[in-house]
Amino acid sequence: MSIEINGLKLSLDESQESLLGLAAKELKLDISEISDFKILKESVDARRSEVKLVYKVSVSCKNESNVLKRSKSKNAVLKELEVHKLMFGEKPLIHRPVVVGSGPAGLFCALRLAEQGYKPLLLERGQDVRTRSKKIGKFWETGELDPDTNVQFGEGGAGTFSDGKLTTRIKDHRCGYILETFVSHGAPPEIEYSSKPHIGTDILIDVVERIRNKIVELGGEVQFGKKVTDIVSTDGKLSAVVVNESESIPAEVAVFAIGHSARDTYEMLYSRGFEMTQKPFAVGVRVEHKQSMIDQNQYGSYSQHPKLKSAEYKLTHKVSNGRSCYSFCMCPGGTVVAASSEEGHLVVNGMSEHARDKENANSAIVVSVSPEDFNSDHPLAGMEFQRSIEKSAFELTGGSYKAPVQLLGDFLKDMVSTSIGHIVPSCPRGYEFKNLRDCLPDFVTESIAESMKAFDRKIKGFGHDDVVLTGVETRTSAPVRIARDSDGASTDISGVYPCGEGAGYAGGIVSAGVDGVKVAESIMSVYSRGADSE
């Protein structure tokens, strides 16, 4: 049991050490009476002339119920310690469980299984995170794309070469496990209490590698360059997964945490009779501003204060055509990166390192897309919709994987830009001036044009003529959902567990990790330990 206190405020010049005294004062206690103290959440209040840091803390002391009553604090509540007990089944597991994909869903699923003695086999189509980093760098420099090791595929998943944002809207006790695991493997401790936690690509590379090493240390195995190309079932039950067209690995349990870009795997699963349904997502462009402008709008005269991190924003607009347009995956002090995973298709994403100290801010400005836009009832029609846009963008710039770029002022005038303004495009693969209307549907470009004007009314300068638009952003979420039951198991083939963002059940690093843990716990509730690890 503990006491949680909300709304403790510090000026930017006060130390976090002052919080203990503020908590004691709120509860009418002497500091020496507090046996345990923890920061649960830190946020920035920039609504008034003086910017302040606002905290939620947890306090332990003797006779907590009586202390709370005596203090009469309106900001404090008593919290019971939640205990979540794992359940273990008795069904024999002849072969070790297989986890397909080492993004957050697969990585945390494998880790949870390994922690409980199930010795999973983790298969990743791409390479380890270090090799992956080198291959991505080569692609950005030369345009030589490896379809299996890139920004989308490889150890750590797509989030590793993004911003490493850990914000989530889900309320699940497993979120704490995800954050604690990241911290214990080298992530900054403040991610456990920051209101907008992030790790950054530079740190995530080390963290992901350490989590993999922990899985191995606990008896699991991780194999790279192993793309699952087929599955084998007998009487409706999984019996093996096929790797790289020819290698058969026996398994009665396989978790498919494939990520939202594994289009060939979607096609394979569909051909094997897995039920899939179309799912809405969003498409659009990346937009770049000076980070200093975003900071100034958010913090005013405090924008250069060392305690304030690069400012973020979240914008939404209901377009006159009935669609939603909104900012997505905002990367403060980051870069726009070439993120293709299929040859002949161009897509971009945003990335930040932990310091978020680059000159530009970027985010996706995307427009809602529904199954009605796909002009087909086929379950994979949304995937083909994405492909068509990416193919058009690739062809627009002559097949070099250089990104099509347009200044906002020229975009609004429907004309090709000829020079940059005060914002320099950051895409490391390079760019070419093109008209983005030539590779995006009309309803998308018209929605963006209207919304950028609306956003400028919320953030002064957001709609400046020099703002850089880079195409195209299409991988906001999975275009399909793979059917599963309430326990996370496939409704089509027993022993298969569709998992994470790629299966349509998560949206971001934390929620994908949580789904991976939930699937692991579901497997453990059915099967006993003791699988053959050979």
pLDDT digits (tens, 9 = 90+) for 2-37: 999 999 999 999 999 999 999 999 999 999 999 999
pLDDT digits (tens, 9 = 90+) for 496-516: 999 999 999 999 999 999 999
Q: Of 225, 256, 249, which is closest to residue 533 (Cα–Cα)?
A: 249
pLDDT of residue 533: 41
pLDDT of residue 534: 40
pLDDT digits (tens, 9 = 90+) for 74-112: 999 999 887 888 999 999 999 999 999 999 999 999 999
Please calculate the CA angle 525-530-531 and round it to the nearest 5 degrees. 90
When computed from its CA atoms, the radius of gyration of the chain, rounded to whole angstroms, is: 24
pLDDT of residue 182: 97
pLDDT digits (tens, 9 = 90+) for 449-486: 999 999 999 999 999 999 999 999 999 999 999 999 99
Burial class (CB in 10 A: 0-12, 13-18, 19+), 383: buried
Owner of token pair 């030589």: 144
What's the whole-number mean pLDDT along residues 45-62? 94
Distances (CA, A) of 323 to 178, 369, 372, 443, 444: 34, 8, 12, 9, 9
Q: Of 261, 224, 257, 260, which is closest to residue 243 (Cα–Cα)?
A: 224
What does pTM read for this prediction?
0.95
Query: With contact defined as beta carbons under 8 Å apart, do 355 and 339 qualify?
Result: no
pLDDT digits (tens, 9 = 90+) for 209-238: 999 999 999 999 999 999 999 999 999 999
**Residue 53 three-state SS:** strand
Distances (CA, A) of 361 to 310, 311, 400: 9, 9, 25
Start-to-end CA span in the chain (Å): 44
**Sheet of 324-331: strands edge to edge?**
316-318, 324-331, 360-369, 281-290, 468-473, 403-407, 431-433
Domains, the chain: 2-79 (3.30.70.2700), 98-277+480-526 (3.50.50.60), 280-473 (no CATH)
pLDDT of residue 80: 86
- For residues 167, 170, 173, 175, the Cα torsion angle rounded to the nearest 10 degrees is -30
The Cα–Cα gap between 125 and 59 comes to 46
pLDDT of residue 23: 98
DSSP 446-482: HHHHHHHHHHHHHSTTTT-TT-EEEEEE--SS-SEEE
E-state strands within 132-280: 221-224, 228-234, 237-243, 247-250, 254-256, 276-278
pLDDT digits (tens, 9 = 90+) for 369-379: 999 999 999 99
Q: List residues bridging with 338 in a β-sheet.
A: 348
pLDDT of residue 530: 65
E-state strands within 117-176: 121-124
The two structure tokens encoding residue 347: 């897509």
H/E segment holding residue 193: none
Residue type, 388: S
The Cα–Cα gap between 116 and 83 comes to 17
pLDDT of residue 157: 96
- For residues 156, 159, 162, 165, the Cα torsion angle rounded to the nearest 10 degrees is -120
Burial class (CB in 10 A: 0-12, 13-18, 19+), 113: buried
pLDDT digits (tens, 9 = 90+) for 304-349: 999 999 999 999 999 999 999 999 999 999 999 999 999 999 999 9
Cβ burial 50-59 (10 Å sphere, 16+ → b, else e): ebbbebbbbb
Percent of the chain with pLDDT strictly greater than 90: 95
What's the whole-number mean pLDDT along residues 152-165? 92
Percent of the chain with pLDDT strictly greater than 70: 99
pLDDT digits (tens, 9 = 90+) for 389-403: 999 999 999 999 999
Mean pLDDT of the chain: 96
SS3 content of the chain, % helix, strand, coil (to 5): 30, 25, 40
